Amino acid sequence: MTRRFGPVTANDDVDLDVHVGEVHALLGENGAGKSTLMNIVFGSVAPDAGTLEVDGEPVGWPTTRQAIERGICMVHQHLMLVPTLTVAENVLLSVMWTENGRRMSLAEASRRVTEIGERHGLPLDTSALVDDLSIGEKLRLEVVRSLLQGEIRGGLRVLILDEPTALLTRQEIERLFTILRNLAADGTAVVIITHKLNEVMEVSDRVTILRDARRVRTVPTSSTSPQELGTLMVGRELRPRRVVHSTPSGPPVLDVLGVTVADHHRVVVDDVSLSVRAGEIVGVAGVAGSGQDVLAECITGLRRSTSGAIILSGRDVTRVDRRDLIENDVAHVPEDRKVDGLVGSASLRHNFILGLHRWDEFQRRGWMRGRAIDQHAARLSGEFEIRTRGIDQPAQTLSGGNQQRVLLGRELHKAASLIVACGPTRGLDIAGTEYVWNRLVEQRDRGAAILLVSLDLDELLALSDRLIVMQGGRLVGELPAGEADPERLGLMMGGSAPVAVAS
C-alpha cells in the first residue's frame, strides 16, 4: 500500500499479512503511518497504490460499508460516537439490519448489546448518554459495536483496534486482552496498534514494525524482545530512563480543601482534599471515571465545585475565571485533546496560542501579532519534533501522537506554577513519552507543582513523588513514591485494599 497526503508519504509500499486466529501488533513511532494503513484496510482512506485481499480474494479498495459487510471492523484512535445519543442508539446507527434483513429495533439493539456485554465481560448501560460515559466505557461500547456488527455478518473476520489501551487502566487492559485472545481463538484476525512494548509482548502473536511510512519487519513475538522491537522501531537503541524522585520542601502551590462536585444530583467528587508543593509531582490514580477528571476540571476552572475551596499560591481561586488561571498560573493538558485542547480544523499556528492568545506577546490592544505567533509556532514545532508540513497544516491532519505534542508544547511553554496533566503521554510513542516525562521532571525541578492524572500505572509510578488514589469520587489513599507498586495501587483503585494511611 502507498498513500500520500500532499508532500507527506504516510505509507510507502507497505506489505502486511494478518492470519486467521492471530493477534497482530502494529508498532511504530508517531506519524509512522499505522493509522493510515489501517484506515485503508477499513476503507475510510483510499490508497494511491496497492492491493487488498481478504481470504485470498482481491477486494479492490473497499468502502467502510463494504469492509463492515466483509466483517472487517475498526475501533478508531479517536472514538467515533455521537455524544448526544444513548449507547443503544449509537449501536443502532451503525447496525441497522439484523441477520435476516429485518430492520433492527432499538429494543433489540439494546438487548443484544447487553447480551454481548455479558458474554464478553463488557457491561454497558444501554440507556446512558454517550456524553456521560467515561472514555473507557466509550471504548467498551466501540468494541461491543464491532462484535455485534461481526455477529450479524456471520462472524467478525478482522478487528482493528487503533491504540485502544491508551484509554484504559491496567485491569481493563488485561480484560481487553483476554477478549482479544478469545476472539482470535474463535477465528478472528485481530490487529492492534499500541506504543507499549510490554503490551505487544503480552498479547500479540506477531508484530509488524513501521518506520517512516515503510515496513521494517514482521516478526513472531516469541522470537523477539522489547529491546529489539524498540531498536527496530526507532532505528537506534533505546536506553531505559530513570527518574529521580524528589522530596520537596517548598510551600504548597495547590491546596484543594474539601471539594465536592455534584452532577445531575450525583456526587462525582466527594469531599476531596489534597495539596501539591512546589517541585513535586503528585500522581492521581484511579479507574476511569473515579472523579479524577472532574477534579482536574475544577482545579483548572472549567467547572465549578459545589462546595469546598481551591487555593492556588495562597490565593482563593475557587470562583476565579478560568481565563485568569490558564493565562499565567496553570497549564492544563486535558483528558480529551480532540474535544478541548485543540481546534481540529484550525492550523497549528492557531492551536499553538490557544488560551495564550491574550498574551501581550501575541497581541497588542486587540490586534494579533502575526510574526510573533508564527515564530512561536515554528519554534515549538521544532522543539517538540512535530511531524508537520508547516504551521498552516490543520491540527486534525496530524497523526494522533503529533497532535498531543502540539498540546504539550503549548502548555509546557507557559512556565506555569501549577501543571495539571491528564494522560499527558496518551498516544505518544516511546521516544515521545520519554521526552514528555523529561520535560515534566524538568518543570518539577524548576519548581512547578504538578498534578498528574493518569490511567497508566507505569507512568504514575515512574514520575510521581507521591501518589493518591481515587475511587468513586473519593480519595481513598495516599502513598509516597517508595511504597507504591502496581499490585497495591490496583487493589486500592478497586476499593478492595485496606485504606492506606494518609501521610
Ligand X SMILES: Nc1ncnc2c1ncn2[C@@H]1O[C@H](COP(=O)(O)OP(=O)(O)OP(=O)(O)O)[C@@H](O)[C@H]1O
Q: Closest approach of Cβ 83 to ligand X, in Å?
A: 22
Which of the 8 DSSP states describes residue 323?
H
Among 49, 107, 339, 502, binds another protein (CB under 8 A): 339
The amino acid at 103? R
379: enclosing H helix or E strand = helix 370-383
Exposure b/e, 299-324, CB count within 10 A at least 16 = b: bbbebebeebebbbeeeebbeeebee
240 interacts with another protein by CB under 8 A: no
| Binding to Mg ion in span 47-106, by CB under 5 A | 77
| Binding to Mg ion in span 439-458, by CB under 5 A | none
Which residues make Cβ contacts (< 8 Å) with residue 69, sequence separation at least 6? 153
Q: What is the CA radius of gyration of the chain?
A: 23
Binding mask 138-167 for another protein (x = CB under 8 A): ------------------------xx----
DSSP three-state, residue 484: coil
Q: Choose from ligand X, another protein, Mg ion, none: what does 44 bind? Cβ within 5-8 Å by kind.
A: another protein
Among 230, 291, 400, 423, binds another protein (CB under 8 A): 400
DSSP three-state, residue 86: strand
By CB under 5 A, which span of 27-35, 173-181, 435-443, 466-474 interacts with Mg ion?
27-35
Torsion angle, CA of 207/210/211/213, rounded to 10 degrees?
A: 180
285 interacts with another protein by CB under 8 A: no
What is the chain's length?
503
| Binding to another protein in span 75-114, by CB under 8 A | 76-78, 83-84
Distance of CA 114 to the CA centre of its chain: 26
| CA proximity to 57, closest of 49, 66, 65, 48 | 66
Among 15, 19, 46, 316, binds another protein (CB under 8 A): 46
Burial of 161 (0-12, 13-18, 19+ CB in 10 A): buried
| Binding to Mg ion in span 347-376, by CB under 5 A | none
Q: Choose from ligand X, Mg ion, another protein, none: what does 370 bind? Cβ within 5-8 Å by kind.
A: another protein
By CB under 8 A, which span of 141-149, 179-187, 390-398, 482-490 interacts with another protein?
390-398
Beta strands, E only, 369-429: 418-422
What the block records as the C-alpha cell of 120 is 464478553
Contact 54, 425 (CB under 8 A): no
The C-alpha atoms of residue 155 and residue 147 are separated, in whole angstroms, by: 8
Q: Which is nearer to ligand X, 197 or 489 (CB)?
A: 197
**Site for ligand X, rule CB under 6 A:** 5, 8, 10, 28, 30-36, 77, 387, 397-402, 427, 429
315 interacts with another protein by CB under 8 A: no
Q: Choose from Mg ion, ligand X, another protein, none: what does 387 bind? Cβ within 5-8 Å by kind.
A: ligand X
Which position's Cβ is nearest ligand X?
401
Torsion angle, CA of 49/53/58/62, rounded to 10 degrees?
A: -70
Q: Choose from another protein, Mg ion, ligand X, none: what does 271 bind? Cβ within 5-8 Å by kind.
A: none
400 interacts with Mg ion by CB under 5 A: yes
Which of the 8 DSSP states describes residue 201?
H
Which position's Cβ is nearest Mg ion?
35
Q: Which is nearer to ligand X, 5 or 97 (CB)?
A: 5
Instruction: List residues binding Mg ion (CB under 5 A).
Output: 35, 77, 400
Binding site for another protein (CB under 8 A): 35-36, 39, 43-46, 60-64, 66, 76-78, 83-84, 131-132, 162-163, 261-264, 297, 301-306, 321-327, 332, 334, 339-346, 350, 353-355, 357-358, 363, 366-368, 370, 396-400
